[in-house]
């Protein structure tokens, strides 16, 4: 069994959780003795039994793979779709079905909706994403497997510490993560928040607003950039009063899982991914433009955090690799 990994977004263009997901999954599979390597698009002599594609592989490429007797497992992050309301999802399904039925094939081919009918299996990070793959895109139920993200051992092995005064938010400084809105609410509620992360570009106007707010409120907003030392990050989670992530869209937040592994109480946006992944020991905040509403919920969480139970321990990357290996074996055994 030889697995080829491929990804639709080069790591050098956008840092984030998907790069960690792919790197850690590959390393854990290799630790189990599975032959796995990146797909080399320039190497016509490369061989493999199965392509694990992180993203939405084009229908045409899936057909080419099948002609070569190579199976395809597709793992698309349904970040935007997973954050929409039931009414929005119904509209999306109706529009896509109508367009697919009446529009020229040359037009609809660009959406690659057919990939969900051609691939041999699909990976969803949460039960909610599994539902979306079946409901929105028509993936066959027996082909969708739920395999969550894992967490590195360093977060499980970190030593317990006395909880300090800071809430922690580990996220890219971007509008989707709502770091600025979290910081503004923290200033209103007078709840200290430590923001850990960096912007895609420091010149970004949204990031500039956050930098200015942090500069003028150093007692409430702590910002020193990203922290790449994973052991140091685990220590910060262990000593944090709580973890807050109020993003508008997520698939399955790696930083939230890392905080959970360190026993850190969680405050998350009230979205299906969060309620699907954290069924207990997490608090939820609605996405709202009201600073006063967010500040009130943030203050309530801050005061309650020391008494809140610890979240359930997430999976390790070796746990995830074993689940993937089982999926691969099942798919490769099929004619």
Structure tokens at 235: 């220590």
pLDDT confidence of residue 98: 87
Burial 104-124 (b: 16+ CB within 10 A, else e): eeeebeeebbbbbebbbbbbb
Look at residue 16 in the predicted model and tell me its pLDDT: 64
165 with 239: CB under 8 angstroms? Answer: no
* Cα angle 225-266-317, degrees, rounded to a multiple of 5: 75
Per-residue pLDDT of the chain (335 residues; tens, 9 = 90+): 999 999 988 877 765 678 888 999 999 999 999 999 999 999 999 999 999 999 999 999 999 999 999 999 999 999 888 888 888 889 998 888 888 888 888 777 778 889 999 999 999 999 999 999 999 999 999 999 999 999 999 999 988 888 999 999 999 999 999 999 999 999 999 999 999 999 988 899 999 999 999 999 999 999 999 999 999 999 999 999 999 999 999 888 999 999 999 999 999 999 988 988 887 779 999 999 999 999 999 999 999 999 998 888 999 999 999 999 999 999 999 98
> What tens digit of pLDDT does each residue of 101-117 get?
888 887 777 788 899 99
Q: Give the CA distances from residue 297 to residues 115, 285, 287, in Å, rounded to whole numbers and listed in that order.
A: 42, 7, 11
**pTM as predicted:** 0.87
Instruction: List the domains of the chain with CATH numbers.
Output: 2-150+317-333 (3.40.50.2000), 153-307 (3.40.50.2000)
């Amino acid at each position: 069994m030889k697995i080829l990994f491929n990804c639709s977004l080069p790591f050098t263009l956008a840092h984030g959780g998907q790069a960690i997901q792919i790197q850690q999954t590959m390393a854990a599979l290799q630790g189990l003795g599975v032959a796995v390597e990146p797909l080399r698009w320039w190497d016509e002599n490369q061989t493999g039994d199965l392509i694990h594609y992180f993203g939405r592989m084009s229908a045409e490429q899936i057909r080419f793979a099948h002609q070569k007797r190579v199976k395809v497992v597709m793992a698309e992050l349904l970040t935007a779709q997973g954050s929409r309301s039931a009414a929005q999802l119904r509209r999306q399904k109706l529009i896509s079905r109508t367009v697919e039925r009446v529009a020229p094939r040359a037009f609809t081919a660009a959406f690659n909706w057919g990939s969900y009918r051609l691939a041999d299996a699909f990976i969803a990070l949460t039960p909610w994403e599994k539902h979306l793959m079946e409901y929105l895109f028509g993936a066959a139920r027996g082909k969708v497997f739920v395999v969550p993200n894992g967490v590195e051992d360093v977060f499980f092995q970190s030593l317990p510490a006395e909880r300090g005064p800071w809430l922690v938010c580990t996220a890219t400084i971007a509008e989707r993560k709502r770091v600025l809105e979290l910081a503004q609410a923290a200033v209103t509620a007078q709840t200290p928040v430590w923001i850990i992360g960096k912007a895609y570009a420091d010149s970004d106007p949204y990031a500039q607003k956050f930098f200015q707010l942090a500069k003028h409120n150093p007692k409430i907003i702590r910002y020193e950039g990203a922290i790449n030392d994973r052991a140091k990050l685990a220590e910060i989670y262990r000593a944090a009063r709580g973890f807050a992530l109020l993003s508008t869209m997520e698939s399955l937040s790696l930083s939230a899982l890392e905080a959970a592994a360190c026993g850190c109480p969680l405050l998350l946006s009230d979205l299906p991914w969060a309620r699907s992944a954290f069924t207990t020991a997490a608090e939820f905040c609605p996405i709202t433009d009201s600073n006063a509403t967010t500040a009130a919920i943030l203050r309530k969480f801050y005061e309650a955090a020391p008494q809140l139970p610890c979240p359930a321990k997430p999976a390790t990357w070796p746990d995830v690799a074993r689940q993937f290996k089982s999926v691969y074996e099942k798919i490769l055994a099929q004619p």
